[in-house]
Amino acid sequence: MTGEECKTLSHALAVAIREASATGKLAGKDLLLSSLKERGIPGFEEQESPDMEALLAQTLATHRDLAALTSITGETLYHSPTLLSRTYASILDRKGSPVVLIAEEVRMNSAQYPRPIPPDLFERAPFDLSPAEIEAALKCMAMSSEFQDISFTTTSTGAVYLFSTRHLERPYAAFLAERADTGLLSNP
Amino acid sequence: MATTNGGFAGKVLRVDLSTGKISFDDTVERYREVLGGTGIGYKVIWEEVSAGVAPFDAANKIVFATGALAGTGVPCNGRTAVTTLFPSCWPKPLVASGHMGGQFAAKLKYAGYDALIVEGKSDKPVWLFIRDGRVEIRDARHLWGTGIRRTTLEISQEMGPECAVAAIGQAGENLVPLSVVMNSVSHSAGGVGAVMGAKNLKAIGVQGSGSVRIAGDRSEWERLVKFHLSILGGNNQHVVPSFPDPHSEYYNPRSRWVGAPGRRWGAADPPVEINGGLYDLNRIAFRSNSGAFFLGEQAWKHTVRGNGCTGCPIRCHTILKVPSIAAKYGIREIAQNTCGGLNFGRAFFKALPGGLQSQAALEACMVGMHMADDMGVWCNYGQLQRDLIKLYYDGTLKAKIGSLEYASYSWDKYESGDPLFLFEIIPRVAMRQGELAQGLGLGTGYLLDHWSIPEEVWTKDSACAYWKLGHPKHHANEDDGQCGVIINTQYNRDSQCHSHVNFIRNGLPLEVQKKLAAEIWGAPEAVDGVGDYTPMNMHKARRARWSLVRKELHDSLGLCNWMGPWVASPLKERGYSGDDSLESRFYSLATGQQTSREELDLIGERIFALHRALTIRDMGEMDMRTRHDLAPRWIYQDTNGAQAFTRGTIRMDPQDIAKAMDMFYELMGWEKATGAPTADAYARLGLKSVAEDLAAKKLLPGAKQ
C-alpha cells in the first residue's frame, strides 16, 4: 500500500468513526470495514489484517479528535469524544451487561464527583434498563464477590442510593444521599 | 436620552410623592463611580437618608435601579435592585435590597432612566406612570385593595401592552414587612413591598420607546454575546446535564439542566418535543425546567414553556398548567415562578402525602403561587414557612395564640399536607388578620420579640435554617463550608449571593472544580467537597471576597447573580472553564470606557464597602465582628455528634470560623478586631468622604474616640 493510499484509507476510517459517533455508535472493526466497503474503498478484505491494525493506529495518531477504548468484550472500539464522550461511550459499551453497567457507573460516580446515585437513574436514557432488570442486576451483584463494594444507603424519605465502598465511606455516602434526595430540593 | 455614553440610559428619575415634584439627575455625572443597581441604592441611602429613619417614614427612600448592561443583548441582563431600609431587619431596620428580574429593568432603560428614586409619601393611593419623558403620579384609589394581577392588568390596559408593571399586593398595602413588589407577573423583589405601601405607592408602570446605545464595536459586541451564550449552562449555571449526554463527559442527576431529548412540554399547544441539540445556542431554553427539577417527572406534562427576563435564554420561571387545580380549588390553572416562589406553598408543610415531588406537592405549589404572587406575600427565603413549622410542632403556637384563633385554623389539614390549608394562612398574612398571621408577616426577629421567644431557640435549631437579624441562611456551610459562612455574615437580610454556590453546584467532578479553582483563586484548596471540609485557608477567603464583589457587581450592572458568574462552562474544549473577565469586557464595550477586570472588581468592592459603611452608621456601632457578622449556633453542631472536618458533616469549628473572619477582614483591609473598614480601606476605594463622615461619628477604626 502506498503512502497516498494509506492516507486516503486513514481519512476514510476517520470519517467513518466520526459518522458512527455522530449517530451514537461506537465503531468496531466490523462496522469500519463495512463502511469502507459501502464507500467503495478497496484495500481490506478482513478485519484481522495486520495492515488494518497499523492503519487504525495511524488514524488515531493523525486525527487527534479520535480515541479508542477497550470494550468489556476485549474488542477495541473507536469514537470521536467530541461527538460521543468517553463517559457516554463507556455506557454504550456496557449496555449489554446490566451488572457491569450499573457497577461501573456507581463506582465512577463514587470516585469522581463523589456522590451516590439513585437506581432509577438507570431507567433513563441512555441506560434504558427496566426496573426488573435493575433489581435483577443488584441481586446478582449482592451474590458476587466481584461486586461486594457496591452498597446502598437509605435516606430519610426511604429513597435508596447506590455507592461503592471502594471510594466512599458509608457515613459520607449517607450524607451525600440525603443532600441529593431532600437537601437540594428544599434549598433553592 | 443621553448619547455621549453607552450602556447607561443617562438619567435618574426622582419622584417626591409628598410634593409631587418630579426631577432628573445625570446618571454618569452623579453615579458612574457606583455603576447602578445596589450601588446607586446604597449611595442614595448614604447621602439622603439619615440614621434613625424608620422604613415606613416618609423620609425613607426606595430606589429602583438597573445598570449599564440592563436592556442590552447581554444574556441574563434583566435585573432591578430595589434598595431601601428593610422593615424585616431585626432588631433595627438596616439597609438591604431586593432584586427582581422580568422586563422592568429593560423598560426603565428604554424610557431613558437607569434608576428611579421614590421619596416622600402620598396622601392617597397613587401609581406612577412613566412613558419616556412623560412621568405622572396617577390616582390609584381604584386599585387599592386589589391584588397584583388585577393591578397589572388595569395598568396594562391603560398604558398598552408594551409596558411593564411593578406592583404591590394587599400585603404591601397592609404594611406587612414580609411583602414583595412584583413585575411581569412573577418576578418579585422581597422585603420591600410594605415600603411602597407606606408611601401609598401601589404600582409603577413603565414603557419606553428608546434603546440602549452600545459604544463599542458592534461585531466585537456580537462576538462577545455569542461567546457568553456558548459558556452558559442550565439554570444557576449548572454546566452539566442531569443525564449522560454524548456531548458531555460529565453529568449530575441533581443538575438543574433537566431538559433532555425525549422530554416534552406537555401542556403547550401543541406540545413541544425536546429533540436533542441542547448544546445548540438557539436551544438553551430547553435545558431548564424549574418545575421538573423541584416537582419531578410529573411536571413535564404540565409544562407550557419557560418564562424569564429580558435577554435571558435560561427561562427559569416555568409556566405550569394544571387544569385539575382549577376544578379542585377554584383558582387559575396556570402559574409560573422559580425556586422560592415556585415552592412557596409546598414549603409550608413539614410532610406531604407522597413526598416533595408528589401530586400534593404540585397542588401546594400551584395554590401557593396563585395566592402569594397576587397578594404579594414574601417568604423571606422560606423562613416564613419554617417559622410556622417550628412554632406549630414545638407546641409554641398553641400557647401563644388564643384558643378561638387557634381553632379557626384546620390543623388537621396542615398536618396531613392538604393544600386547602394555604387558603387559610396566606390571605391572613397578607391582610394581617389574627395574632399568628400578623406575627408571621413581621419576619422572624420581630415575631420572636413579640412573643418573648429568645432568638437562641431559633439559632440553635438547624432545621430552622435561621441565621441572624431576622433572616435565614442563603447557601451557607451546608453548601460551601467557611466560604458560605463568611458570605452569610455580611448582609442585613439573607445574603442572596450565588457566586459561590453556582460554582459548587455546577456538577463538575471535584477534581475539575479544583483545577478551575486554582486558575481563578490561586489554589485548588479554595474549594472543598461538600460536607468534606478542610480547615480554613487564604484561598477560601479570597473566593469569599470574590463572591461578594461579583454579587454586588451583578446587582449594579443589571446582571443576574442567580445565573452568574460564568467561571465554569459546559465546554470540554475549554477544560470546562468559563470566563472571569466577562463582566468587565461587556462593561467596556457597552460604555466605551475601557475597564479591566481588576478595575471593575474594585468598583464592586466600593459598592460593598458602602453597604458596610451604611450598616455601621445605622447601627451606630463599629464592632461588626461581634455585633453584626454573626453565625448561628447550629453551624457548630451535628445531630449525629460528628466532629468538624470529618466527612459527612457541615459542622464548623468556632476557632476555625474565627480564623476565617480574620483572613477575610485582612483581605478586605478591615480591622480584624472589629471587622470595620479602616480609613485606608475606604480611601483605596475612593470613599474618603465616607471615612470622614464615619470618623466624625466615631465609627472609624483608629479615629479618636
The residue of chain A nearest to residue B348, with distances taken between CA atoms, is: A186
B126 strand-pairing partners: B139, B201
Distances (CA, A) of A52 to A1, A19, A76: 11, 19, 12
Residue B110, all three cell numbers: 428604554
Structure confidence at residue A47 as a pLDDT band (50, 70, 90): low
Q: Is the dihedral of CA B475, B476, B482, B487 positive or negative?
A: positive
pLDDT at position B1 over 50: no
User: Chain B contacts of A21, Cβ < 8 Å?
Assistant: 246
Residue B565 has pLDDT above 50, yes or no: yes
Confidence tier at B3 by pLDDT (50, 70, 90): very low
pLDDT band at B61 (very low <50, low <70, confident <90, very high): very high
Instruction: For residues A97 and A94, give the distance between their C-alpha atoms in angstroms, rounded to a whole number.
Output: 6
B357 touches chain A (CB under 8 A): yes
pLDDT-above-70 percentage for chain B: 99
Residues 493-512 of B with CB under 8 A from A: 505, 509-511
Contact A183 B478 (CB under 8 A): yes
Interface check A112 vs B, CB under 8 A? yes
B487: Cβ–Cβ under 8 A, 6 or more apart, which residues? B475, B476, B480, B495, B497, B500, B544, B547, B548
Chain B: nearest CA to A9, how far in angstroms? Answer: 26
B385 touches chain A (CB under 8 A): no
CA distance A6 to A51: 9
CA-based nearest residue to B292, from B253, B323, B331:
B253
Please give the pLDDT value at position B152: 98
Which of B647, B649, B650, B651 should be substituted to probe chain A, the one whose Cβ sees the most A Cβ atoms within 10 Å?
A: B647
Q: Which of B238, B247, B318 to mutate to test the interface with A (most CBs of A within 10 A)?
A: B247
H helices present in B592-678, as ranges: 597-619, 624-627, 654-668
Q: Out of A81, A88, A118, whose CB is closest to B244?
A: A88
Picking from B247, B339, B573, the nearest residue to A188 by CB comes out as: B339
Beta-bridge mates of residue B22? B15
Convert B650-681 to b/e letters by CB count within 10 Å (16 or more is b).
bbbbeebbebbbbbbbeebbbbeebbbbbbeb
> Element (H or E) spanning B167, and its range?
strand B164-168
Mean pLDDT of all residues in A78-83 = 96
* Distance to chain A for B536, nearest Cα, Å: 20
Residue B391 confidence (pLDDT) above 90: yes
What per-residue confidence (pLDDT) applies to B608? 98
- Please tell me the distance from the alpha carbon of residue B346 to that of residue B352, in angstroms, as a whole number: 8
CB contact under 8 A, B250 and A81: no
pLDDT confidence bin for A49, thresholds 50/70/90:
low
B475–A contact, CB cutoff 8 A: yes
Decide if pLDDT at B54 tops 80: yes
Does the distance separating the beta carbons of B343 and A188 come in below 8 Å? yes
* Residue B357 grid cell: 415531588
Q: Do B647 and A169 count as a contact with CB atoms less than 8 A apart? A: yes
For residue B568 the three cell numbers come to: 465554569
**Closest chain A C-alpha to B127 CA, distance in angstroms:** 33
Dist. CA B577–CA A72, nearest whole Å: 32
Task: Provide the number of CB pairs (under 8 Å) joining chain A to chain B.
Answer: 95
Chain A, nearest residue to B342 by Cα: A188
What pLDDT, on the 0 to 100 scale, is given for residue B275? 87
Contact B305, B268 (CB under 8 A): yes
Contact criterion met (CB < 8 Å) for A83 and B247: yes
The residue in chain B having the minimum alpha-carbon distance to the alpha carbon of residue A179 is: B478
pLDDT exceeds cutoff 80 at A48:
no
Task: Give residue-wise pLDDT tens across range B153-207.
Answer: 999 999 999 999 999 999 999 999 999 999 999 999 999 999 999 999 999 999 9
To the nearest whole number, what is the mean pLDDT of chain B? 97
Alpha helix ranges (H) inside B401-509: 403-407, 411-416, 422-431, 434-442, 444-450, 455-459, 477-489, 499-504
Residues with Cβ < 8 Å from B384, sequence gap 6 or more? Answer: B178, B377, B378, B429, B440, B441
Task: Quote the pTM value.
Answer: 0.97
Q: Looking at chain A, which residue has its C-alpha nearest residue B474?
A: A187
- Cβ pair A186:B343 closer than 8 A: yes
Q: Which of B236, B251, B496 to mutate to test the interface with A (most CBs of A within 10 A)?
A: B251
For residues B229 and B283, what is the distance between their CA atoms, to the nearest angstrom?
A: 11
ipTM, two decimals: 0.95
CB contacts of A87 in chain B (<8 Å) are 244, 248-251
Q: Tell me the per-residue pLDDT of B259-287, one tens digit each, with 9 for 90 and over.
A: 999 999 999 999 999 987 899 999 999 99
Q: State residue B2's pLDDT score.
A: 40
Q: Is A152 on the interface with B (CB under 8 A)?
A: no
pLDDT of the residue at B67: 98
Calpha distance B408→B411 (Å, rounded): 9
**Which of A85, A117, A185 has the CB atom closest to B246's CB atom?**
A85
Distance CA(B620)–CA(B700), nearest Å, equals 11
Q: Distance between CA atoms of B73 and B51, rounded to whole angstroms?
A: 39
> CB of A128 within 8 A of CB of A92?
no
Q: Which residue of A has its CA nearest to B514?
A: A113
Nearest to B243 among A124, A176, A185 (CB): A124
Helix (H, G, I), strand (E, B) or coil at B273: strand
Measured between CA atoms, the residue of chain A closest to residue B571 is A82
Q: What is the mean pLDDT of residues B301-329?
A: 97
Measured between CB atoms, does B448 come within 8 Å of chain A?
no
Q: Running DSSP on this structure, what letter comes out for residue B690?
A: H
Q: Is pLDDT at A44 greater than 70 in this prediction?
A: no
Please choose, from the candidates B633, B637, B645, the residue with its C-alpha nearest in 3D space to the C-alpha of residue B536: B645
A92 interface with B at CB cutoff 8 Å? no
